């Protein structure tokens, strides 16, 4: 039995829900042994969030997760740190974890070198077979690593850092109460033109890279861990001509992003989740929007906020399995799925002093059709074409929260009446125009 990670004992952010497991296509229960994320509070009321998507096994990813938490939590970020100091702290944490990973595997690296020398000196076929078998075992250990997406909330400001293909998304409402979905991270993959340019500067063929699916033994161009494709990259013919290590551990840092009342929720998601959406729906440009729509629908359906991440992953998995069955496809087994949702102003906040979460009450909405269809049709009436790309938009019918963990709560007044907060004049004007043009949807009278 695998020991429970010490990060489980850190003080939890109660405005966060998470789900993390290996998809087993039909047996996708939440296995705590596969739990590769954290969401914790620090003493000065800052918050740390992270998801860790494993490559080639879970052992290295678990080591990286726990070491990253230690680097950032002890000591915790100071409220007096400047923005540049905060960015530098995040950057140094990634590099320190990478160094610790290499040191953790020093013994295996030394054994590998010794076995390769013995292999050159050995003539006995049985001994060679034993050495080759052990070398494969070592290479499997050394190839373990993780994509990482981190978020730090401090003084109402958000910082994000990532390596690999895990994403951070922010849902925020614009002045028309339309929910805009912004991707805060960059995918470190071979479809990223900046990453291709970096690799070209190392002497790799740009045309070959554009057509490649893997960089060595992984799809990402950055990660933590995986010494095999870093220190031993010369063993891979496709990248052996590089003048230095092509896969790096240096993160990209974004922020600060001001968290005002327009911010609805933050999402950290592993590539295994959004790539399932891409495959099932056949589109990569609308993936963030589609994921956010599923999250919004589950915000409204679930009576317990803590279950939202789990129900979202189950819905995505169900649609993906149906797609595979329909098209007679055999998906890759044991895909890791992680989804972390941090509520800001979409739902009423959970007070950090409360030990047990209470049921979430939702603002009432009128719904005539399925949520996705309704969102699309209202979006068209409001003047959105539905062709937005990764900075996508969906309609947010929830009222801006009166209080949050960013703004101090207001005094509760029992008899206070809520003022109207939606101006329907634009809606009625568009309905009249659509009726005149004969394009009014059937469900609107």
Domains in the chain: boundaries: 6-343
Are the CB atoms for 359 and 315 separated by under 8 Å? no
- Say what the pLDDT of residue 22 is: 84
- Say what the pLDDT of residue 15 is: 92
- R_g over Cα of the chain: 24
Per-residue pLDDT of the chain (445 residues; tens, 9 = 90+): 456 778 888 889 999 999 988 876 655 444 444 679 999 988 778 899 999 999 988 899 999 999 999 999 887 766 678 999 999 999 999 999 999 999 999 999 999 999 998 988 877 888 889 999 999 999 999 999 999 999 999 989 999 999 999 999 999 998 888 899 999 999 999 999 999 999 999 999 999 998 888 999 999 999 999 999 999 999 999 999 999 999 999 999 999 999 999 999 999 999 999 999 999 988 777 899 999 999 999 998 888 999 999 999 999 999 999 999 999 988 877 788 999 999 998 887 665 543 333 333 333 333 333 333 333 333 333 333 344 444 555 555 444 333 333 333 444 455 555 445 455 666 677 778 878 887 777 767 6
- Write the burial class of residue 325 (CB in 10 Å: 0-12 exposed, 13-18 middle, 19+ buried): exposed
The 10 Å CB-count burial string (b at 16+, else e) for 267-297 is: bbbbbbbbbbbebbeeeeebbbbbbbbbbbb
Are the CB atoms for 317 and 311 separated by under 8 Å? no
- Say what the pLDDT of residue 74 is: 84
Are the CB atoms for 327 and 365 separated by under 8 Å? no
The pair of structure tokens assigned to 415 is 């008899």
Place of tokens 């010490």: 6
Are the CB atoms for 20 and 36 separated by under 8 Å? yes
Helix H or strand E encompassing 18: strand 16-23
Residue 86 makes CB contacts below 8 A (sequence gap 6+) with: 77, 152, 154, 159, 255, 256
Backbone phi, psi, residue 389, to 5°? -95, -140
3-class state of residue 249 by DSSP: coil
Q: What is the DSSP letter of 234?
A: G
Q: What is the DSSP letter of 331?
A: P
- Say what the pLDDT of residue 35 is: 77
- Write the burial class of residue 125 (CB in 10 Å: 0-12 exposed, 13-18 middle, 19+ buried): exposed
- 55-90: per-residue pLDDT in tens? 988 899 999 999 999 999 887 766 678 999 999 999
Reference 161, options 224, 212, 244; nearest CA is: 224
- Say what the pLDDT of residue 422 is: 52
3-class state of residue 155 by DSSP: coil
3-class state of residue 292 by DSSP: helix
pTM, 2 dp = 0.78
- Say what the pLDDT of residue 354 is: 38
- Say what the pLDDT of residue 30 is: 46
Which fold, 6-343? Phosphatase 2c; domain 1 (3.60.40)
- Say what the pLDDT of residue 125 is: 86
- Write the burial class of residue 244 (CB in 10 Å: 0-12 exposed, 13-18 middle, 19+ buried): exposed
- 282-340: per-residue pLDDT in tens? 877 789 999 999 999 999 888 899 999 999 999 999 999 999 999 998 887 778 899 99
Q: How far is CA 65 from the centre of its chain?
A: 14
Q: Return d(Cα 91, Cα 105) in angstroms, integer.
A: 22
- Say what the pLDDT of residue 183 is: 96
3-class state of residue 245 by DSSP: coil
Q: Return d(Cα 97, Cα 102) in angstroms, integer.
A: 9
Q: What is the DSSP letter of 344?
A: S
Strand-pairing partners, residue 105, are none
Q: What is the 3 state secondary structure string of 377-405?
A: HHHHHCCCCCCCCCCEEEECCCCCCCCCC
C-alpha triplet 89, 91, 92: angle, nearest 5°: 65
């Amino acid at each position: 039995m695998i020991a429970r990670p010490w990060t489980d004992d850190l003080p939890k952010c109660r405005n966060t829900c998470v789900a993390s497991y290996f998809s087993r296509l039909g047996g996708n229960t939440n296995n705590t042994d596969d739990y590769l994320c954290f969401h914790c509070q620090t003493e000065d009321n800052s918050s740390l969030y992270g998801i860790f998507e494993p490559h080639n096994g879970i052992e290295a990813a678990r080591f990286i997760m726990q070491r990253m938490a230690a680097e950032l939590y002890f000591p915790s970020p100071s409220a007096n740190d400047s923005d540049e100091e905060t960015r530098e702290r995040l950057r140094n944490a990634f590099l320190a974890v990478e160094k610790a990973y290499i040191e953790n595997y020093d013994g295996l690296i030394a054994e590998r070198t010794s076995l390769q020398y013995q292999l050159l000196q050995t003539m006995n076929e049985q001994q060679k077979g034993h050495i080759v078998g052990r070398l494969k075992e070592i290479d499997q250990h050394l190839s373990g690593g993780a994509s990482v997406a981190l978020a730090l909330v401090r003084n109402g400001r958000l910082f994000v850092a990532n390596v690999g293909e895990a994403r951070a998304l922010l849902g925020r409402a614009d002045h028309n109460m339309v929910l805009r979905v912004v991707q805060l991270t960059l995918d470190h993959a071979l479809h990223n033109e900046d990453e291709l340019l970096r690799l070209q500067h190392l002497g790799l063929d740009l045309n070959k890279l554009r057509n490649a699916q893997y960089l060595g033994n992984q799809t990402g161009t950055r990660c933590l861990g995986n010494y095999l494709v870093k220190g031993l990259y010369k063993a891979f013919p496709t990248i052996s001509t590089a003048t230095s290590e092509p896969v790096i551990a240096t993160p990209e840092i974004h922020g600060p992003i001001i968290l005002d009342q327009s911010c609805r929720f933050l999402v950290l998601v592993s590539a295994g989740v959004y790539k399932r959406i891409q495959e099932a729906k056949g589109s990569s440009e609308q993936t963030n929007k589609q994921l956010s729509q599923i999250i919004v629908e589950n915000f409204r359906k679930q009576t317990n906020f803590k279950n939202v991440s789990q129900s979202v992953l189950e819905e995505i998995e169900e649609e993906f399995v149906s797609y595979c069955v329909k098209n007679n496809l055999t998906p890759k087994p044991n895909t890791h799925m992680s989804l972390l949702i941090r509520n800001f102003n979409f739902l009423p906040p959970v007070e950090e002093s409360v030990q047990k979460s209470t049921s979430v009450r939702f603002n009432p909405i009128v719904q005539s059709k399925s949520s996705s269809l309704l969102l699309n049709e209202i979006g068209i009436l409001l003047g959105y074409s539905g062709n937005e790309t990764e900075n996508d938009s969906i309609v947010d019918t929830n009222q801006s929260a009166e209080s949050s963990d960013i703004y101090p709560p207001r005094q509760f007044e029992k008899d206070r009446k809520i003022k109207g907060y939606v101006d329907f004049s634009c809606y009625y004007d568009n309905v009249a125009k659509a009726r005149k043009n004969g394009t009014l949807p059937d469900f609107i009278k």
